[in-house]
Amino acid sequence: MTTQSINLLPSSTASSSPLQRVGADLPPAPKNFSVLLPTDLLTPEQVAGVLGLSPRTLAAWRSSRRSELPWIKVGARIRYRRCDVIAWLEGLTCSSALEA
């Protein structure tokens, strides 16, 4: 009995990287539209865990508008875009003790 590997991809894409194959079957996006992946929207619990805060702190910041961290309300749920969290953190970066 011999073992054979089975290639499920067409021969033209078999040599391409996995990143090149993602979304290959989708129509091209408009120039000003970015593809949104499920991992791009974070829950308050996920953001709080990364920032070392409690989800209640984020809720307090949202209700008091204390923070400029952008958030999205989808139905009754709150979500944060990964790129917004990263940009917000970049804006908090201090390069010297004088800025702190």
In the chain, the number of structural domains is: 1
Q: What is the pLDDT of residue 30?
A: 55
For the stretch 29-76, pLDDT in tens is 555 556 777 788 999 999 999 999 999 999 999 999 888 999 999 999
- Report yes or no: 68 and 88 within 8 Å, Cβ to Cβ: yes
Tokens 């908090």 sit on residue: 92
In a domain, 23, yes or no: no
In a domain, 37, yes or no: no
- Report yes or no: 74 and 42 within 8 Å, Cβ to Cβ: no
In a domain, 9, yes or no: no
In a domain, 65, yes or no: yes
Which has more confidence, 94 or 26?
Answer: 94
In a domain, 27, yes or no: no
Domain limits at 61? 42-92
In a domain, 32, yes or no: no
Tokens 């993602």 sit on residue: 22
Q: Is 39 helix (H, G, I), strand (E, B) or coil?
A: helix
In a domain, 26, yes or no: no
In a domain, 19, yes or no: no
